[in-house]
Structure 1
Amino acid sequence: MSSLIDSFTTELRRGTLTLAVLSQLQTPQYGYSLVQRLEQAGVSIEQNTLYPLLRRLEKQELVTSNWDTSESRPRKYYIISDYGQEIFEKLKTEWLTLATELTTLLQGDGQS
């Protein structure tokens, strides 16, 4: 049973991680800082999940990246693109609607 729960949990989290990551890229973030920000908000994400997601978002032109080589350790910073911002706003609206609907269903409306 726990493997079934794990499978469902993974499915639920998969789409929400994209929304969570986009929400935190309003300002430039590098991978580790992004992991920290998400974890501070209670969203755990492993680096082996985050980096492929960032690469996919960049390929889809939802985020852009730039290398900062001004410090001894170069870092790749990601930020949401204008197109990514449009997609994020639509996804956020969709998520809020869905969350409201599911909350109503899960709390029950008094009908049987």
Structure 2
Amino acid sequence: MDDSLFNSLSTELRRGTLTLAVLSQLQKPQYGYSLVQLLERNGIAMEQSTLYPLLRRLEKQELVTSSWDTTESRPRKYYVLSEYGKEIFGQLKNEWEKTSQELYNLLKGEGPDELD
């Protein structure tokens, strides 16, 4: 088996799911490292080098907002879903649930019968 092909396809498969995973954890404000830890505790490994560009993109798309907390000795940038982000997250979550159930059925051989 070609490992590079598998790795490429696996990365492609994960890309969209990582966005949904990040959005799901931004109901409450999180800073980058806390977000990585939350995801890892739930079985989703994500490098900070992947997370920060994703957070910047989500902010540019107005799905998340950010603010600096300078009360600690080390300033931290916190991210949280915007109202628009909450709406889009709800839609994406519903789409994910529908699509994953359809795919699950296909992979288990429970989809509609094939055409003759």
Q: TM-score, normalised by structure 2?
A: 0.94
Greater Rg by CA: 2
Deviations, residues 46-82 of structure 1 (Å, cap 9, x unaligned): 0000000000000000000000000000000000000
Which residue does 1:41 correspond to in 2?
42
- Inter-partner Cα distance in structure 2 for 1:100 and 1:23: 19
Q: Which sections of structure 2, spanning at least 5 residues, go unmatched?
A: none
Which residue does 2:61 correspond to in 1?
60
Which residue does 2:7 correspond to in 1?
6
Q: CA deviation at 1:109?
A: 2.2
The 4+ residue runs of structure 1 with deviation greater than 6 A are: none
Which residue does 1:85 correspond to in 2?
86
Count the aligned residue pairs: 112
Deviations, residues 28-57 of structure 1 (Å, cap 9, x unaligned): 000000000000000010000000000000
- Inter-partner Cα distance in structure 2 for 1:92 and 1:102: 15
What percent identity do the matched residue pairs reach? 70
